[in-house]
Amino acid sequence: MIVIVDFGMGNLRSILKKFEMIKVGAVISSKPEDILNAEKLVLPGVGNFGQGMKNIRQYGLLPVLERAILIKKIPILGVCLGMQLFAQFSEEGDCAGLGFIKGKITHFNFENLPQTQNLRIPHVGWNNIKIKKETDLLKNIPENTRFYFTHSYHYTNVAEENIIATTDYGYDFPSIIRQENIYGTQFHPEKSHLLGLEIYKNFINHC
């Protein structure tokens, strides 16, 4: 069973519907027994990093996620804020994250870019990925595939070996990361049409 982790934030139903479309059994749950017995996990997220970590603690999920991911090595896919929560620290909320993947979450900063670019924050809409490393998550996903983004913060200080793909918005930022059984996409596969569905299929079938 695939468990979509409910910590009170994120577009849980949208992701669940995508799993229904590809005929994969999935549930939304915050129950420790469901998370610890899952075949795979999805950590969604829409909103503020600080609030997300607060909710995870209030739901009693911090030790559960640590056991499931770090000890039992259950594969997990973090989506948008869900991916950012894997980091050690975030400027958004000025607080520590789960610390599963080394790195920091920082706000987009265009101060040293030409003013003519007129880039807006948040970064919202379709953008391309540039594949840096092969991974089963990207099976049948071609270079420069466009996915749907909506975010104001992004990963920095990530080890090169953990960066699977980057995206250019004024400068390159990590848009897909991986460390062992932990995967993350800064974009929303559930909002990215057929190739977004392919990401979920790959996570289920190959990761």
Q: Give the active site residues.
A: 80, 188, 190
User: Concatenated DSSP letters for 35-93?
Assistant: HHT-SEEEE---S-HHHHHHHHHHTT-HHHHIIIIIIS---EEEETHHHHTTSSEETTT
Contact 159, 88 (CB under 8 A): no
The contacts of residue 127 (CB under 8 Å, 6+ apart) are: 146, 147, 149, 167, 168, 169, 175, 187
| CA–CA gap between residue 65 and residue 35 (Å, rounded) | 8
Q: What is the signed CA dihedral for 161, 125, 24, 22, rounded to 10 degrees?
A: -120
